[in-house]
Chain A
Amino acid sequence: MKRPFEFIIEKLVLISGLASIIFVVLIFVFLLKEGLSLFGQENLWGFLFGQNWYPISDPPQFGILPLILGSFLVTLGAIIIAVPLGLASAIYVAEVAPSGIRDVLKTGIELLAAIPSIVLGFIGIVTLAPFLKNVFHLSSGLTALAGSIMLAFMAMPTIVSIIEDSIVSVPKSYKEGSLALGATRWQTIYRVILPAASSGILAAIMLGIGRVVGETMAVLMITGNAAVMPTSFLQPVRTLTATVAAEMGEAVAGSGHYYALFAIGIVLFVISFAINLLADWFLHRGKKKRKKR
């Protein structure tokens, strides 16, 4: 016979656990229902690969290719900046820095993660955008590149901390074995530690991409917001997320525009899901490899 108090606690915990699953399912069903309604008036091909996003002209055009490419360009740029920087700082924090500096750096990285994206966004507008404008002689600094740089800052904390974790969890015996053979610290890092940590590094990159693709406010503010086919980093672009954020307020419920924004939501969901799955797979693979020892 269980005591009533324990019974209540147990059920409460169970309900809370179920609640999260129920919410996910509800959100997903809602997203699907609204998003799929678009395909009464637009075919999937035209939606994904149409080059024109004119949701309120007559007739409306719902091609999201410029938005997909906008997201892709901004993400690519951010990753190109954030991964080498993140990798280098993770190596420094995990293997090189003396313990005093290490603590300061780790705190700094955590603080970077704590900056709200909107703050990064307006700092970007008032400092980064004018800077880019001057350097590249543009008519406006609000470009894909500006978005990439800001997003690189946002992705850095995730990337650094996951890579650092995976470097720290490389068995110490590898390092000892390498140093005992007369290898220098850099040879050891480059030839043994990084290969051993490679799954974690790949997972960190994936999660960094996930963070960047899903980011909204900063890109909305800083990428210049032009839903045209992007051709260069120095051009204004618009991402999937920024489109939804900017237009949801004015879209008439039940209109094609409204459904199209939900359909963009589905696309984002699929992308995030795939990225998380990949990251998980890399992390898992790393663990399995290590267990074999």
Chain B
Amino acid sequence: MQNSKLKIIETNKLNLFYGAFHALIDVNLQVKPRMITGLIGPSGCGKSTLLRVFNRMNDLIDGVKISGSVKFENKEILSDAIDLITLRKRIGMVFQRPNPFPLTIFENVAYGLRIHGEGSRLVLDEAVQKSLTAVLLWDELKDKLSLSALELSLEQQQRLCIARLLAVTPDLLLMDEPCSSLDPLATMRIEELMNELKKEYTIIIVTHNMQQAARVSQECGFMLLGELVEFGDTKQIFTAPRDKRTDDYITGRYG
């Protein structure tokens, strides 16, 4: 892969320790733009940890040590010189449990713009409409923008959280089990949304659900005990895995 345009994220010998616990071991990963990359693996293997490296959310945890290199669009992001605010503006994150703020629907979507200094009502109005339209909530909610976001259904809340990210026009969306608190129908609709979004955004999704990874992702990585065991084309991973451990996992011989 000589052409650096073909990867938006590249990690090299990435290691992460929680105190003495070695949570990521020599992870080498390349994520290509404008597609969905899945990360699967049993509970506790380090999927969330890896995802949180990309927007430096692990900085919030005491005692985390990281070594190696992580490049976002060819810029090293583990360096102290990186501006976290800009980085997190460009790399948005969707959490496992929808976490809209206890503010109105409008203010939730406008939040990102406001904190980055946008005050013009016109700009905000337009961004809110555009973002909610992108997550297919606009028609449902356009008359309820001043309602508290906590009144929405879980699926709507998760869509709102995605809209909240889109408003600041990120390049990369990190999704940590975005459907795990949703029912199957809502899950399906969020997956459709992801398929729509990948035309303009790069998405990395962590999921417990192998069918989901198989359905939505184009490339996929399997993690086990902190290692990225195998990474490649999703079809290949699910039909002809190269590593015995991947095979065991996707055929259900692991927990």
Contact = CB atoms under 8 A, between A and B. Distances in A.
B114 A184 contact: no
Contacts of B103: 192, 195
B57 A176 contact: yes
B168 interface: yes
Q: Which 10 A-B pairs have the closest CB atoms?
A: A173-B99, A182-B88, A182-B89, A180-B93, A177-B99, A183-B115, A182-B85, A181-B112, A187-B115, A196-B102
Contact of A180 (B57, B86, B97): B57
B99 A191 contact: no
Chain B interface size, as a band, is 20 to 34
Given A173-B97, A192-B101, A195-B102, A181 B57 contact: no
Interface residues of A, number: 20
Nearest to A173: B99
A293 interface: yes
Contact of A182 (B97, B115, B151): B115
Contacts of A183: 85, 111, 115
B150 A191 contact: no
Contacts, number: 70
Interface SS majority for chain A: helix
A171 B168 contact: no
Interface string B132-149: 000000000000000000
Given A182-B115, A184-B85, A174 B57 contact: no
Given A176-B99, A181-B115, A289-B150, 18 more contacts: A174-B99, A176-B57, A177-B99, A178-B101, A178-B111, A178-B115, A180-B55, A182-B87, A182-B115, A182-B116, A182-B168, A183-B111, A183-B115, A187-B115, A191-B111, A195-B103, A289-B102, A292-B151
A191 B115 contact: yes
Interface of A: 171, 173-174, 176-184, 187, 191-192, 195-196, 289, 292-293
A202 to B, nearest CB: 15
A196 B149 CA distance: 13
A293 B152 CA distance: 10
A187 B113 CA distance: 12
Max chain B C-beta neighbours (<10 A), residue from A180, A184, A191, A196: A180
A109 B87 CA distance: 39
B164 interface: yes
Given A176-B57, A292-B150, A293-B150, A181 B111 contact: yes
Contact of B60 (A179, A192, A292): A179
12 contacts: A173-B95, A176-B60, A177-B161, A181-B112, A181-B164, A182-B87, A182-B112, A182-B116, A183-B85, A191-B101, A292-B150, A292-B151
Nearest to A177: B99
Interface in B158-173: 161, 164-165, 168
B221 interface: no
Contacts of A182: 84-89, 112, 115-116, 168
Max chain A C-beta neighbours (<10 A), residue from B55, B95, B99, B161: B99
